[in-house]
């Protein structure tokens, strides 16, 4: 059994992918070739976003947004503590301050009550120039954008949606890509929409920011490639990646459906034994349960041929590279780091395989 099964996917789309890569080899426009514009158009259509700017990775997408927002050293950005490092890394790379907020134990996403308290505390202390919020759609479940958008607007903060794990999901019938001021995603191969390497994208309704992002993506170019009006990076998505993602986008909805069905069955057959995720709008990038005595469960599952993963074994404020200035109590994030366990949920997991996982998990927690 595999935790992520990209080979089964390749067997289905092989002809399409080989032909798409071959077209790139024929035209040789490896940088910003026609497939990139084609993908950006398709992603606008899929998400409903007015502007899509593809990027070299999900991390570069976040970095490019902060560069376009002109984040300055000492500017502070709020980030949930239970997330992948990239969400906070980009702030620190630009010399900014990360202010961590705890997450909710039911959705794993940022706790909006604690967010409000943190904003008041930071503003009250008046030490930091608080600029914005990076919300994260952990494991595929969109954060609570209805509340987040109100908080961001009332406090004059930018709101970035880090949708690296949630591409394809919807909230209140609106697709991911339309929440917050701007949304970033990742096409890392194991994400719901993956490429054949690194890749990412940015979605926004704001034409001004979209224009800046296109400049930032190419070393801050101005009227032409050798006028530099700001600092930027080499942030472009490779044409070959765009060609591959164009193929995978066509089967995404089918795959999301398969993931959702797997999640529903896990919920139905595991909820009496372990804490199951409370997600309803998820892209199901991960199916993450909570168990006590996790080490014993992991080794029992390993012995029975079930691969698992731990996202994440430490909250970010517990990491050496992300030590906050003041000791913070982010107790839910810390507790989740002790208890979370992700089970196989890729779209090609068979019913028999899922039965094996369910049986083994039930037996493991009974031991």
Residues in contact with ligand PLP by CB under 6 A are: 57-59, 83-84, 86-87, 136, 162, 164-165, 186, 188, 198, 200
Minimum CB separation of residue 53 from ligand PLP in Å reads 14
Nearer to ligand PLP by Cβ, of 56 and 360: the residue is 56
* Angle of CA points 290, 146, 283, to nearest 5°: 45
> Minimal distance in Å, beta carbon 188 to ligand PLP?
4
Pick between residue 24 and residue 61 the one whose CB is nearest to ligand PLP: 61
Q: Are 160 and 180 in contact (CB under 8 A)?
A: yes
Residue number with CB closer to ligand PLP (46 or 187) = 187
Least separation, in Å, of the C-beta of 68 and ligand PLP? 17
Task: Provide the sign of the torsion angle of the four alpha carbons 136, 238, 347, 361, taken in this order.
Answer: negative
Nearer Cβ to ligand PLP, position 115 or 360? 115
Residue 285 CB, nearest approach to ligand PLP (Å): 8
Q: Are 52 and 201 in contact (CB under 8 A)?
A: yes
Buried b (16+ CB within 10 A) or exposed e, 219-238: ebbeeeeeeeeeebbebbbb
Q: 183 or 186: whose CB is closer to ligand PLP?
A: 186
Output b/e per residue, 173-193; b: 16+ Cβ within 10 A: eebbbbbbbbbbbbbbbebbb
Cβ-proximal residue to ligand PLP, closest one: 58
**Residues 6+ away with beta carbon under 8 Å from 277:** 107, 108, 139, 141, 263, 267, 287, 288, 289
98, two tokens:
């990360």
User: Which residues face 55 on adjacent strands?
Assistant: 200
Name the minimum Å distance from CB 179 to ligand PLP. 14
Give the integer Cα–Cα distance in Å for 68 and 212.
6
- Closest alpha carbon to 204 in 31, 17, 47: 47
Choice between 52 and 165, CB closer to ligand PLP: 165
Question: Smallest distance from the beta carbon of 166 to ligand PLP, in angstroms?
Answer: 9
> CA 215 to CA 211: how far, in whole Å?
7
**Shortest Å, Cβ 89 to ligand PLP:** 9
CB of 351 to ligand PLP, least distance (A): 28
Report in angstroms how near the CB of residue 54 gets to ligand PLP at its nearest. Answer: 12
Structure-block tokens of residue 270: 């595991």
In the bound state with ligand PLP, the residue whose beta carbon lies nearer, of 58 and 347, is 58
Nearest CB to ligand PLP, comparing residues 75 and 198: 198
Looking at the Cβ atoms of 136 and 244, the one nearer to ligand PLP is 136
| Residue 218: DSSP 8-state | B
Nearby residues of 54 by Cβ (< 8 Å), 6 or more positions away: 36, 39, 40, 43, 199, 200, 201, 202, 236, 237, 242
């Amino acid at each position: 059994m595999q935790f992520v099964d990209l080979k089964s996917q390749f067997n289905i789309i092989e002809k399409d992918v080989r032909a798409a890569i071959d077209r790139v080899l024929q035209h040789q426009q490896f940088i910003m070739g026609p497939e990139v514009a084609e993908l950006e158009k398709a992603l606008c259509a899929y998400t409903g976003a007015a502007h899509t700017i593809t990027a070299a990775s999900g991390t570069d997408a976040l970095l490019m947004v902060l560069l376009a927002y002109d984040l300055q050293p000492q500017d502070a950005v709020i980030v949930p503590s239970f997330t992948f490092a990239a969400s906070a890394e980009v702030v620190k790379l630009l010399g900014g301050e990360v202010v961590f907020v705890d997450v909710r134990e039911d959705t794993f996403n940022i706790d909006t009550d604690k967010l409000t308290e943190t904003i008041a505390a930071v503003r009250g202390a008046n030490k930091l120039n608080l600029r914005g919020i990076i919300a994260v759609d952990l494991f595929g479940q969109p954060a609570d954008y209805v509340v987040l958008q109100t908080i961001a607007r009332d406090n004059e903060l930018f709101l970035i949606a880090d949708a690296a794990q949630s591409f394809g999901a919807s909230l209140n019938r609106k697709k991911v890509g339309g929440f917050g001021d701007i949304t970033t995603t990742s096409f890392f191969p194991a994400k719901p929409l993956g490429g054949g390497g690194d890749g990412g994208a940015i979605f926004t309704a704001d034409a001004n920011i979209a224009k800046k992002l296109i400049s930032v993506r190419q070393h801050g170019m101005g009227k032409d490639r050798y006028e530099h009006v700001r600092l930027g990076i080499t942030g472009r998505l490779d044409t070959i990646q765009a060609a591959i993602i164009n193929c995978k986008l066509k089967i995404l909805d089918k795959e999301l459906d398969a993931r959702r069905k797997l999640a529903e069955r896990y919920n139905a057959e595991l909820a009496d034994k372990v804490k199951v995720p409370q997600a309803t709008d998820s892209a199901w990038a991960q199916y993450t349960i909570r168990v006590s005595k996790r080490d014993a469960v992991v080794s029992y599952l390993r012995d029975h041929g079930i691969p698992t993963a731990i996202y994440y074994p430490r909250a970010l404020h517990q990491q050496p590279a992300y030590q906050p200035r003041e000791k913070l109590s982010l107790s839910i994030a810390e507790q989740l780091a002790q208890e979370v366990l992700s089970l196989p949920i890729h779209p090609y997991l068979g019913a028999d395989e899922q039965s094996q996982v369910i049986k083994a998990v039930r037996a493991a927690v009974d031991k």
